[in-house]
Amino acid sequence: MKKKLFTIILTLILIGNANAGLFSSKIKIKDCFRTEMGWKSFEDMKGSGLLEPVLSAEIDLKKETVVVTSIMDNKVTMSKHFILAKTDEYISTVQDPIWGSWLFDLKRKGMTGQNVNFPNGSNTIRCIGDCVHKCKFK
């Protein structure tokens, strides 16, 4: 009896730990680079000498929000977007009047964004037109 109880408790602990990573409510995205520029990696982009924004994002599935961070010329901007739709393969955000919208491709590990308008006096550019980024997803 004690052996069965021990086995059940141990099984529950192991299943709980295994599921903690699999069913996480947050997806972290980093090391993004623009594929249409011909770069093969984030390191290629950084080594190119071009002034390109460093993008990262955090998708919170529980709160249904996405926070996108952009670092350009040592200036950090962050914007919060609400999730419009999500499937097993994609997550899209609600169109923001300033920062535009984002589409996250979970299978191909990429994000596509488009700016709409820039705030008055802002020189922060995430992307001119449509931009496709390849990223690391965790």
Q: How far is CA 122 from CA 33, 52, 72, 126, 129, in A?
A: 22, 16, 11, 11, 17
- How buried is residue 35: exposed, middle or buried, by Cβ count under 10 Å (0-12/13-18/19+)? middle
Q: Give the pLDDT confidence score for residue 11 in this predicted structure.
A: 64
Instruction: Kindly list the domain boundaries of the chain, sorted by start residue.
Output: 25-137
Q: What own/partner pairs with CB < 8 Å and gap ≥ 24 does 12-17 have?
A: none
The tens place of each residue's pLDDT in the chain, 138 residues long, gives: 667 655 666 565 655 444 444 557 999 999 999 888 889 999 999 999 888 889 999 999 999 999 999 898 889 989 999 999 999 999 999 988 777 889 999 999 999 887 665 555 444 455 655 678 999 999
Asked if 105 and 134 touch (Cβ cutoff 8 Å), the reply is no
How far, in Å, CA of 66 to CA of 57, rounded?
Answer: 7
Position of tokens 């390849």? 134
pTM of the model: 0.74
User: Can you read off the two tokens belonging to residue 99?
Assistant: 């920062």
Tens of pLDDT along 65-81? 999 998 988 899 899 99
Position of tokens 């040592």? 74
